[in-house]
Amino acid sequence: DIQMTQSPSTLSVSVGDRVTITCRASQTISDWLAWYQQKPGKVPKVLIYRTSSIMSGVPSRFSGSGAGTEFTLTISSLQPDDFATYYCQQHIHYPYTFGQGTKLEIK
């Protein structure tokens, strides 16, 4: 299985901050990387797929980049609605696997 490792596990941030979350794959996944946002008590919501393609309706402050084994999710200016846990997922090799999550906390 491909192991997905996110860093950091927790990030203390403030509204307006630029936020970067990193996801590393244990082997190359080309650009087959998705990002999900999950709020407490809610189901995950896909934000980005194929590394940088933004889902319809997702604010433009979210962006993704990377290739191969290292990827980033960037939130250009954090908004109150963005406090959540973010997961990466490789969607090329079975079994599909997820990172352990990065929780954004209020500083």
Partner 1 sequence: QVQLDQSGPRLVKPSGTLSLTCGISGGSIRSSHWWTWVRQSPGGDLEWIGEVHFSGGTNYNPSLQSRVNISVDTSRHQFFLKMSSMTAADTAFYFCAGNGPSALGVLTYWGQGSLVTVSS
Q: Which residues here bind partner 1, judged by CB under 8 A?
A: 1, 32, 34, 36, 43-46, 49-50, 53, 55, 85, 87, 89, 91-92, 94-98, 100-101
Nearer to partner 1, 9 or 77 (CB): 9
In the complex, the smallest distance separating the C-beta of residue 21 from partner 1, rounded to whole angstroms, is 15
Strands (E), the chain: 4-7, 10-13, 19-25, 33-38, 45-49, 53-54, 62-67, 70-75, 85-90, 97-98, 102-106
**Distances 20 to 5, 9, 24, 42, 87 between C-alpha atoms, Å:** 14, 12, 13, 23, 13
In the complex, the smallest distance separating the C-beta of residue 74 from partner 1, rounded to whole angstroms, is 19
What does R_g of the chain's alpha carbons equal in angstroms?
Answer: 13
User: Could you give the CA distance from residue 89 to residue 82 in angstroms, rounded to a whole number?
Assistant: 19
Nearer to partner 1, 16 or 43 (CB): 43
Nearer to partner 1, 61 or 98 (CB): 98
In the complex, the smallest distance separating the C-beta of residue 73 from partner 1, rounded to whole angstroms, is 15
Nearer to partner 1, 16 or 41 (CB): 41
